[in-house]
Amino acid sequence: MSSIFSTVLQMSLTGSYVIIMVLLIRLLLRNFPKTLIFPIWSVVAFRLMGPITLKGKFSLMPSAEGLDGGFTILEKAAAQSSLALLSGYDSIRIGSYIWAMGFVSLIIYTSVSMLLLKGKLKNARQYHDNIYEASHLKTPFVIGFIRPKVYIPAGIAHDEKNIIILHERSHIKRKDHIIKTLAFFVLAVHWFNPIVWFAFKKMTDDMEISCDETALSHCKTDMRKTYANTLVRFAYKMHPVNERIIAFGEGNLEVRVQHILRFRKPKLSKTISALIIIIAASLGLMTDPIDILSNEDLSPYMAESKKQDSEINEVKLEVQKQVRLQSEHFDKIFE
């Protein structure tokens, strides 16, 4: 368990750096279509869940010494904390149990909430194919992983219904229901990292805006106002337990409405420019820098690493010794 948690901590540290870089890239490309920007979030998922790394000459990642060095300090501090507490469990081991309980609790909590939601939808009336109507709904949404279904409020106007169905079917065609479920699993693994929660929120915003762009590309210009009005009407603040569903009215409402009203199909030159930047940034963030130091250059670092490992082992042996002495002391007291 401790080794798994240590790997998660390392991936979370690396992933946090990548998230910050992606947020800066989003800021740089804020006037570009979100449809082109959204795929870069896959790099974040790769870093947060991929313990295997690639090497590249044009990496945008810091050197291994920077990240690994910080992690070694954490391990050493954990061992010293254990000695101070005279416990048989170091901080990494205790943290691994807390992390596992948080992960399992979040998965169970959201799974039960999804089952309860599906129970409330069992009386929904089928409108067409995988489209269902329910009278008690406040906002339309897509739910399901393998066989997604679209649920819409009953009794809405024909134009609004067509816009909602177009939007939600765009989500399904883009496989957003699968992407968001997988993204939530990544979030659950890194539930202790607030930067990952922020990234999940921004990823969801980009998903909704890029889906708006996909839907609007199939609409006439005079339908944009109706589209925006429909979005405002069904605006809905998602409850945390429903983060796995895709709701029509979620995301940054003001930004989405402004984007809808100003939407224009991007020019070819702008599309090519965005693709070049996104591809280059993705390759740079997915790869680690190639080690160019010789064995002679590395020898001081290797010696220091061995010294730190030796110190950690000494601390752990001292912890075990103190625990054994305490155990013998208590045994004598109760004899």
Compute the distance between CA of residue 180 and CA of residue 34 in angstroms, rounded to an integer.
16
> Higher model confidence: residue 72 or residue 35?
35
Compute the distance between CA of residue 140 and CA of residue 148 in angstroms, rounded to an integer.
13
> Higher model confidence: residue 271 or residue 329?
271
Question: HSE-up of 229 (CA within 13 Å, CB side)?
Answer: 10
What pLDDT is attached to residue 81? 45
Phi, psi (deg, nearest 5) at residue 125:
-95, 135
Closest by CA to 5, choosing from 179, 193, 180, is: 193
Structure token digits, residue 50? 């991929």
Q: What is the mean pLDDT of residues 203-222?
A: 89
- By three-state DSSP, how is residue 248 classified? coil
Does the structure show a pLDDT above 90 at 25? yes
Structure token digits, residue 239? 């409850």
Compute the distance between CA of residue 90 and CA of residue 81 in angstroms, rounded to an integer.
7
Contact 225, 261 (CB under 8 A): yes
Question: HSE-up of 46 (CA within 13 Å, CB side)?
Answer: 17
Closest by CA to 120, choosing from 151, 146, 148, is: 151
Residue 331 identity: D
Query: pTM for this structure?
Result: 0.78
Contact 216, 260 (CB under 8 A): yes
Does the structure show a pLDDT above 90 at 43? yes
Give the Cβ contact number of residue 115 at 10 Å. 9
- By three-state DSSP, how is residue 281 classified? helix
Lowest mean pLDDT across 22-36, 85-99, 165-179, 208-222: 85-99
